[in-house]
Amino acid sequence: MKNRQLLNLLRANAERPAGIRSEVAGDTATVYVYGPIDEYWGVSAADFSREISAITAPNVVLRINSPGGDVFEARAMMAAIRGHAATFTAKVDGLAASAATALTLACDRIEIADGAFYMIHQAWTFALGNQDELRTTADLLGKVDGVLVDGYVGRTGKTSDEVVAWMKAETWFTAAEAVENGFADAILETTAAASAEARAFNLSAYARAPKALIEEAPDEGIRQRMLARLGLYERTAA
């Protein structure tokens, strides 16, 4: 893969607190997947499966804020969701990118916060070897992409050609676009700052991450001074 993107993504976000936790209230359990999906540098499939296997509540809310990670870990997490008896609702709190979108596909309902993003792209890997070994790796990536395409097509009702084009372009959907194109069922009304949650990740490994997610938020003091100045201008104009 170019520039070892997957490894760069995981390393760049290794310092961000990551893990999995759950809480239960009445007949609903809430599970948080906040961070990269990876056996070593984030939320692993083993930890995820262990966490949800202990849940007996009939409803599970899966809250997601993840820049993605290992697609095979994500597929194992999908299998754990589909093998559970509960009804799952995915809520994208800030970001569901790359492998993290696989978790949403396994859920019965998907909601995305206003200001959050949903991103799909072609699978990545890094490899060493001779030309035959590298061709084998490329063939494997093609098969992974095919599985991903089938999942997105099944969820959205779009054609394979449409989904493939989005994946090749590394497409970032806003909440409204995700709902419009069938990746989510509804926009989640929330008081949480979804864009701030997503911006907390280092997304430099991606080629087309929205500027809103890779630019640092303005200093709060500067922002307040700008707002005060704007108010002064408005009063003067009046």
Taking only the tens place, the pLDDT of each residue in 194-222 is 555 555 677 777 878 887 777 654 444 54
Residue 228 near residue 131, CB atoms below 8 Å:
no
Tokens at residue 189, please?
Answer: 């009304």
Classify each residue of 164-199 as buried b or exposed e, where b means 16 or more C-beta atoms within 10 Å of its C-beta: bebbeebbbbbbeebbebebbbebbeeebebbebbb
Q: 217 in a domain, yes or no?
A: no
Please indicate, yes or no, if residue 215 is contained in any of the structural domains. Answer: no
Domain of 25, in residue numbers: 2-208
Specify if 168 maps to a domain: yes
In a structure prediction context, what are the per-residue pLDDT tens digits for the chain, which is 238 residues long?
Answer: 344 454 555 455 555 545 688 899 999 999 999 989 988 878 999 999 999 999 999 999 999 999 998 888 999 999 999 999 999 999 999 899 999 999 999 999 999 999 899 999 987 666 677 888 778 877 787 888 888 999 999 999 999 999 999 999 999 999 999 999 999 999 987 645 555 555 567 777 787 888 777 765 444 454 455 445 445 444 444 4
Report DSSP state, residue 4: G
The domain that contains 71 carries what CATH number?
3.90.226.10
Q: Is the pTM of this model over 0.85?
A: no
User: What are the helix (H) ranges across 2-130?
Assistant: 5-12, 45-53, 71-82, 100-105
What's the domain count of the chain? Answer: 1
pLDDT tens-digit readout, 31-54 = 999 989 988 878 999 999 999 999
In a domain, 229, yes or no: no
Angle, in degrees to the nearest 10, between helices 45-53 and 71-82:
10
Instruction: Give the count of alpha carbons within 13 A of 137, CB side only.
Output: 13
Do residues 96 and 104 make contact, with C-beta atoms less than 8 angstroms apart?
A: yes
What angle do helix axes 131-156 and 71-82 make, rounded to 10 degrees?
A: 40
Quick check: is 66 in a domain?
Answer: yes
> Is 75 within the bounds of a domain?
yes
Question: In this structure, how many other beta carbons lie within 10 angstroms of the beta carbon of residue 17?
Answer: 7
In a domain, 226, yes or no: no
Structure tokens at 140: 């494997």
How far, in Å, CA of 171 to CA of 151, rounded? 16
β-strand pairing of 117-120 with 171-174: antiparallel
Return d(Cα 168, Cα 174) in angstroms, integer: 18
